[in-house]
Amino acid sequence: MLAIGLGVLYRRKTAPVALALYGLYALVVVVFAAVMSRMGAA
């Protein structure tokens, strides 16, 4: 839904917007996992 809204708002195709959002989500998850493993919580 967010990709469609951003695509319409900035008049871009939704596929690249969705891929960028998924990439950002994956980056956040990896960083969070690394921080948690450093803290010994995992």
Question: What pLDDT digit, counting tens, does each position of 1-42 carry?
Answer: 777 777 787 777 778 878 888 899 999 999 999 999 998 865
- pLDDT of 20 reads 85
Interatomic CA distance for residues 10 and 35, integer angstroms: 34
Taking Cα atoms as reference points, which of 35, 36, 2, 32 lies closest to residue 19?
A: 2
- pLDDT of 41 reads 66
Give the chain's domain count. 1
Distance of CA 9 to the CA centre of its chain: 18
Using the structure block, give the residue that is written with the tokens 């690249």: 16
Q: Is 36 helix (H, G, I), strand (E, B) or coil?
A: helix
- pLDDT of 30 reads 96
- pLDDT of 12 reads 74
Interatomic CA distance for residues 18 and 3, integer angstroms: 5
State the pTM of this model.
0.63
- pLDDT of 13 reads 77
**Enclosing domain of residue 26:** 2-39
- pLDDT of 42 reads 54
